[in-house]
């Protein structure tokens, strides 16, 4: 038997990376790796990186600088060697260059190759040579991942789709995550059943374009996301289903209608939709290659709201895309006013080398971007506060996820993905309870237990 080795994984970026990090731990567990809370003294440190904006990528290099020092300290204290691995999208995008820029890195492993981590680590420990595994082929990865998946509380992420064929002109994802690919339905269902058996009550299906899901069903014909959700809803214990992120274009056609119908008809499908729009100006949307307009986006939101009037709508925005004028930005604010969001992510445009937008004329000065972002965020906060305040007085089913800061308190999730603080509910962690909402703040709700519901 090998003695336990300490593994520290630091995750950057999106929820797909959170899922990948959990699966990396699953891959490494049979080799005797146990999770550590800090990098100090760890035998293996994995940085699971994000390349989407420049800041995210740069953070990785400063973290690597710190790890290099920790590795030296560990060796000096007679603690043996610390292996440093860079995984995720920076690994995919920059490959070997990472090792040139920071020679302390032992291995680089892309998002489609982490099932090879055991072999790569073995190679590193034998000789320091070919260390790059960043070739695409999600099939290989999912086939090779262990069937054991350690659930971590009553909620879990589950990757069902990867990659992107949309080529928005600002975005690196089509280059780092490859072409759109959907996991076979049966493999998703099997993983979901195992999670449910471990007490998971809420699963969030992940994909860069999750509503483009078209994985083969048991007879080889493709399933839509709606069909997958309906099959998942049959699994005992799985009471709540979410999915993210959706692209407006993939709501066109029968698959989109079926998904909207699922929101109306399947109780387990939560009334929440993350539907990035990026801008409210048709001129900018064209330059972004989004292939939808502000109007078609608003009509789509109306269709989903007709199916689920209480829908919590979320989105992503980019401020300061090349060529964005004050009038274009005003159009974004107008779209926000009409959409009535529950919560949103908004980003300053980040110029990513190699993307078409990075070479476009009319790059917007930093001060202008800052000022616009502030105005957009002020409006989004106003909407978020209003959405939360509207829940006061309602009784909502809340999935209690973890302990709160105060004795006896539990923190749960509303159907709308709001955090809910509930006093005297700690003993009910893992169950869905009825909570009367008594207070609302910008980022959370507070309420009192009505009665145990499940």
At closest approach, how far in Å is the CB of 317 from ligand 5AD? Answer: 6
State the binding partner of 373 from ligand SF4, ligand 5AD, none, CB within 5 to 8 A by kind.
none
Q: Which is nearer to ligand SF4, 173 or 432 (CB)?
A: 173
State the binding partner of 208 from ligand 5AD, ligand SF4, none, CB within 5 to 8 A by kind.
ligand SF4
- CB-side neighbour CA atoms (13 Å) of 390: 13
Instruction: State yes or no: residue 356 binds ligand SF4 (CB under 6 A).
Output: no
How far, in Å, CA of 319 to CA of 340, rounded? 18
Strands 444-452 and 432-440: antiparallel
Would you tell me the crossing angle of helices 326-339 and 294-307 to the nearest 10 degrees? 10
Name the residue among 226, 247, 119 with its Cα closest to residue 171.
247
| Pair of tokens at residue 144 | 């090779």
Q: Which of 71, 227, 274, 352 binds ligand 5AD (CB under 6 A)?
A: 352
Number of residues that bind ligand SF4 (CB under 6 A): 10
At closest approach, how far in Å is the CB of 366 from ligand 5AD? Answer: 13
- Footprint on residues 173-232 left by ligand SF4 (CB under 6 A): 173-174, 208-209
At closest approach, how far in Å is the CB of 381 from ligand 5AD? Answer: 18
Q: Which is nearer to ligand 5AD, 53 or 115 (CB)?
A: 53
- Is residue 86 within 8 Å of 61, Cβ to Cβ? no
How far, in Å, CA of 311 to CA of 102, rounded? 46
Buried b / exposed e over 150-160, threshold 16 CB at 10 Å, is eeebbbbbbbb
Q: Which is nearer to ligand 5AD, 161 or 350 (CB)?
A: 350
- Footprint on residues 26-65 left by ligand 5AD (CB under 6 A): 52-53
How far, in Å, CA of 208 to CA of 185, rounded? 17
Site string for ligand 5AD, 237-276 (x = CB under 6 A): ---------------------------------------x
Q: Which of 198, 293, 347, 389 binds ligand 5AD (CB under 6 A)?
A: 347
CA distances 274 to 222, 313, 347, Å, are 24, 6, 15
Other CB atoms within a 10 A radius of the CB of residue 35 amount to 13
Instruction: State yes or no: residue 247 binds ligand SF4 (CB under 6 A).
Output: yes
How far, in Å, CA of 412 to CA of 422, rounded? 7
State the binding partner of 182 from ligand SF4, ligand 5AD, none, CB within 5 to 8 A by kind.
none
Q: Which of 105, 168, 226, 380 binds ligand SF4 (CB under 6 A)?
A: 168
Q: Which of 12, 114, 136, 170 binds ligand 5AD (CB under 6 A)?
A: 170
Q: Which is nearer to ligand SF4, 89 or 437 (CB)?
A: 89
Q: Which is nearer to ligand SF4, 230 or 247 (CB)?
A: 247
Q: Which of 25, 90, 98, 171 binds ligand 5AD (CB under 6 A)?
A: 171
Handedness of CA 273, 447, 376, 169 (dihedral sign): negative
Would you tell me the crossing angle of helices 185-197 and 225-233 to the nearest 10 degrees? 30
Q: Which of 166, 183, 230, 292 binds ligand SF4 (CB under 6 A)?
A: 166
How far, in Å, CA of 145 to CA of 8, rounded? 19
Measured at CB, which residue is nearest to ligand 5AD?
A: 316
Q: Which of 45, 171, 195, 200 binds ligand SF4 (CB under 6 A)?
A: 171
State the binding partner of 19 from ligand SF4, ligand 5AD, none, CB within 5 to 8 A by kind.
none
Buried b / exposed e over 223-244, threshold 16 CB at 10 Å, is bbbbbbbbbbbebeebbbbbbb
At closest approach, how far in Å is the CB of 290 from ligand 5AD? Answer: 10
At closest approach, how far in Å is the CB of 163 from ligand SF4? Answer: 9
Binding site for ligand 5AD (CB under 6 A): 52-53, 170-171, 276, 278, 316, 318, 347, 349-350, 352
Binding site for ligand SF4 (CB under 6 A): 164, 166-168, 171, 173-174, 208-209, 247
């Amino acid at each position: 038997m090998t003695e336990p080795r300490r593994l520290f994984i630091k995750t950057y970026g999106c929820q797909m990376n959170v899922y990948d990090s959990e699966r990396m731990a699953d891959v490494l567990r049979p080799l005797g790796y146990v999770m550590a809370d800090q990098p100090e003294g760890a035998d293996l440190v994995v940085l699971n990186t994000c390349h989407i904006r420049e800041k995210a990528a740069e953070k990785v290099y400063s973290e690597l600088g710190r790890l290099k020092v920790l590795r030296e300290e560990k060796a000096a204290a007679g603690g043996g060697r610390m292996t440093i691995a860079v995984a995720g999208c920076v690994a995919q995008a920059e490959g070997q260059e990472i090792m040139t820029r920071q020679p302390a890195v032992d291995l680089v492993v892309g998002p489609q190759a982490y099932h090879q981590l055991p072999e790569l680590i073995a190679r590193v420990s034998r000789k320091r040579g070919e260390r790059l595994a960043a070739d695409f082929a999600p099939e290989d990865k999912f086939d090779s991942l262990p069937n054991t998946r350690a659930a971590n509380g009553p909620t879990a992420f589950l990757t069902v789709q990867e990659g992107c064929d949309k080529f928005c002109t600002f975005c690196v994802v089509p280059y780092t995550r490859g072409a759109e690919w959907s996991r076979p339905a049966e493999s998703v269902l099997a993983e979901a059943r195992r999670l449910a058996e471990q007490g998971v009550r809420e699963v969030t299906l992940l994909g860069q374009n999750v509503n483009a899901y078209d994985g083969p069903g048991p007879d080889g014909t493709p399933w839509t996301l709606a069909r997958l959700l309906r099959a998942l809803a049959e699994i005992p214990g799985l009471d709540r289903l979410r999915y993210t992120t959706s692209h407006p274009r993939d709501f066109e056609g029968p698959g989109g209608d079926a998904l909207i119908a699922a929101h109306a008809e399947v109780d387990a499908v939560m009334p929440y939709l993350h539907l990035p729009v990026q801008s409210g100006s048709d001129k900018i949307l064209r330059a972004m290659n989004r292939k939808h307009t502000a109007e078609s986006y608003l009509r789509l939101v109306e269709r989903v709201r007709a199916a689920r009037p209480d829908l919590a709508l979320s989105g992503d925005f980019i401020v300061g895309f090349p060529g964005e004028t004050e009038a274009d930005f005003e159009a974004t604010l107008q779209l926000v006013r009409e959409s009535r969001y529950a919560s949103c992510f908004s980003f300053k445009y980040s110029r990513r080398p190699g993307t078409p937008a990075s070479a476009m004329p009319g790059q917007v000065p930093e001060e202008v971007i800052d000022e616009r972002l502030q105005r957009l965020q002020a409006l989004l906060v106003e909407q978020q506060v209003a959405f939360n305040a509207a829940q006061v007085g309602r009784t909502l089913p809340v999935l209690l996820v973890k302990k709160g800061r105060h004795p006896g308190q539990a923190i749960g999730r509303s159907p709308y993905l709001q955090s809910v603080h509930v006093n005297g509910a700690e003993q009910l962690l893992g169950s869905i309870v009825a909570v009367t909402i008594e207070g609302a703040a910008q980022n959370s709700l507070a309420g009192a237990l009505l009665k145990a519901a499940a």
